[in-house]
Amino acid sequence: MTALLEPASEADACAEVADAIAARAPLDLRGRGTKAGVGRPGQAARTLSSARLSGITLYEPAELVIAARAGTPLAEIEATLASRNQALTFEPPDWRALLGTTDEQTIGGITAGNLSGPRRIAAGAARDSLIGARFVNGRGEAIKSGGRVMKNVTGLDLARLLAGSWGTLGFVTEVTFKVLPRPERTTTLVLHGLDGAAAATAMAKALSSPYEVTGAAHLPAGPHGPSRTCLRLEGFAFSVDYRTGELQRLFRREASEVVDGEIAAALWREVRDVTPLAEPGDAVWRISTVPTRGHGVAEAIARQAPARWFSDWGGGLVWLACPAEGDAGASLVRQALREAGGHATLVRAPHAIRAAVDVFHPQSAPLRLLGERVKGALDPHGLFSPGRMHPGA
C-alpha cells in the first residue's frame, strides 16, 4: 500500500514536493485515481493527490470561461455549466467503466490525460480549450502559465504542455478552460450496413460538407446487428433541422435513419466512453491515425489477431480490443502504424503487460531526448510519476 498525500492548498502541495525532494522520494501524481491504471505501472512509494484541492474558482458565463482547482469533480463543473446552458466543448469522456473504477473523475485528471470525446474533430481536445493552469513543479515552486483569456501568447505555453503529460511534468493545482454554449438541439444521421472503407468515404464526405458535422463514428457489424455509421449535427434547432435535411439529401442513396433526443445522446455517450469495448477482459488500444486510414489499420490488425474495434473522429480514432495475453497485440499495432502514421496507447491492460510493453507510442531518438530534456526542465529530480509514460523518464 502506498502512502497517500492529499494537500489541501497549493502551498501545502509545494511543501509536500519540497519534502519529496529532500527525501529523494518520488511521487505518483493523481486526482482521484480513476485513470491511475493508464500508463506503465506506478513505481513510487508515495502518491500525491489533488483530491482535496476542490472547487470552482471562477465562472463568467458571458466571458465563456471557467476555472477550478484540479481536484474538482468533473461532474460538478459540468452541472455548473449546464445550469447556464454551457459546456466543456471538448466533450470529456468517462473511462471509468472501461477502466473498472468508480470514484469521481476530476478536471485535473481530464487535463493531465488531454482527454476528449467525439467533438474533438470539430472543437479540439482538452488542450485546445485549456487557457491557463497553475501547477507545482519539481522544485516545489508554484508556477502559473496562461491565464483566463482565450487569446494569449505571452510567454511559453506551459499549460498546454502539461495537458497530456499524465502527471510526469508537474502537479496541476488549478485549470482554466474556455467553454461554449450547449447545443440547443442534436440529431444524428445513422447510415446502415457500410463496410469500413465505405464508412470512411462517407465520413470524409460528411466532414467535408458545409453542414458542420460534430461527430463521425463507425460501429462495425457485430452480434448486435449490421454496421452503423453515425453523423452528428448540433446547434440551434432551426439550423440543425435544415442541416439534417441537407445531410440526408447528401446520403440519399444509403439506407439511413435520423435519431435525436436521448437516443442520439446515448449513442454518442457510448462512443465517447468506449462502451462497445468496455466489458472487462480484453486489452484496449487507443489508436490515433489519419482518418481515411483508420479502418485499414484496424482491419490489418484484425486479420492477424482476434481484435474487435470501432472508430471515432471520422475514422482517425480507432478503439481496438485484443486478448490480454502476450504483448496484447503491441507488435501488430505498431507495425500497422508504421505504414499508416500516427500513434497508439495501450489504455487498458493487466499490470504485467503494461510493465513489459510500451504503453505510449515509442518515439524517435531525437524526440525522446527532447522529451527527456523538457521533463528535466520541469522536474529536475525525476520525482513525478517516474516511468509512467516511458521507461526511465
Partner 1 sequence: MTIAFPEPDESVLARREAIRAKLAEIVHPEALIVSEDERRAYETDGLTAYRQMPLAVVLPSSTEEVSAIMRVCHAEGVKVVARGAGTSLAGGAIPQPDAVVLGVAKMARILAVDFDNRTARVEAGITNLAISAAVSHEGFFYAPDPSSQLACTIAGNIAMNSGGAHCLKYGVTVNNVLGVTMVLVDGTVVELGGQHLDAEGLDLLALVVGSEGQLGIVTEATVRILRAAEGARPALLGFPSAEAAGACVADIIGEGLLPVALEYMDKVAIEITEGFAKAGYPLDVEAMLIAEVEGCDADIDEQLRRIVAIAERHGVTTVRVSASEAESAAIWKGRKAAFGATGRISDYICMDGTIPTGQLPLVLRRIDEIVRREGLRCANVFHAGDGNLHPLILFDINKPGAMEKAERAGEHILKLCVEVGGCLTGEHGVGIEKRDLMTYQFNRADLHQQMRVRAAFDPGWLLNPAKVFPLQGRIAA
- Count Cβ atoms below 10 Å from residue 296 Cβ, excluding itself: 19
Q: Please identify which residue in 31, 108, 220, 342 interacts with partner 1, judged by CB under 8 A.
A: 342
**250 touching partner 1, by CB under 8 A:** no
Cα first-last separation, the chain: 23
CA 277 to chain centre: 16
> Which residues, numbered 18-57, are part of the site for partner 1 (CB under 8 A)?
none
- Residue 211: its H or E element: none
**2 touching partner 1, by CB under 8 A:** no
Q: x/- contact string, 201-240, with partner 1 (CB under 8 A)?
A: x--x--xxxx-x-----------------------x-xx-
- Which CB atom, from 100 or from 362, has the smaller least distance to partner 1? 362
Contact 118, 272 (CB under 8 A): yes
**102 touching partner 1, by CB under 8 A:** no
Name residues whose C-beta falls within 8 Å of residue 119's C-beta, 6 or more positions apart in sequence.
Answer: 89, 90, 91, 214, 215
Q: Please identify which residue in 249, 262, 366, 392 interacts with partner 1, judged by CB under 8 A.
A: 366
Contact 347, 95 (CB under 8 A): yes
Near partner 1 by CB under 8 A, which window of 5-13, 27-35, 268-276, 309-317? 309-317
**161 touching partner 1, by CB under 8 A:** yes
- Which CB atom, from 285 or from 313, has the smaller least distance to partner 1? 313
**85 touching partner 1, by CB under 8 A:** yes
- Which CB atom, from 291 or from 387, has the smaller least distance to partner 1? 291
- Which CB atom, from 21 or from 64, has the smaller least distance to partner 1? 64
Cα-Cα-Cα-Cα torsion 250, 235, 95, 219, nearest 10 degrees, comes to: -10
Give the interface size with partner 1 as a residue count (CB under 8 A): 86
Outline where DSSP puts E strands in 88-238. 130-136, 142-146, 171-178, 180-181, 185-192, 213-219, 228-235
Residue of 9, 11, 39, 34 lying closest to 384 (CA atoms):
39
**371 touching partner 1, by CB under 8 A:** yes
Contact 293, 302 (CB under 8 A): no
Minimum Å distance from CB 312 to partner 1?
10
Name residues whose C-beta falls within 8 Å of residue 374's C-beta, 6 or more positions apart in sequence.
Answer: 161, 169
**124 touching partner 1, by CB under 8 A:** yes
- Which CB atom, from 101 or from 363, has the smaller least distance to partner 1? 363
**343 touching partner 1, by CB under 8 A:** yes
> Which residues, numbered 126-155, are part of the site for partner 1 (CB under 8 A)?
127-128, 137, 141-145, 147-155
- Which CB atom, from 102 or from 154, has the smaller least distance to partner 1? 154
Residue of 29, 109, 35 lying closest to 354 (CA atoms):
35
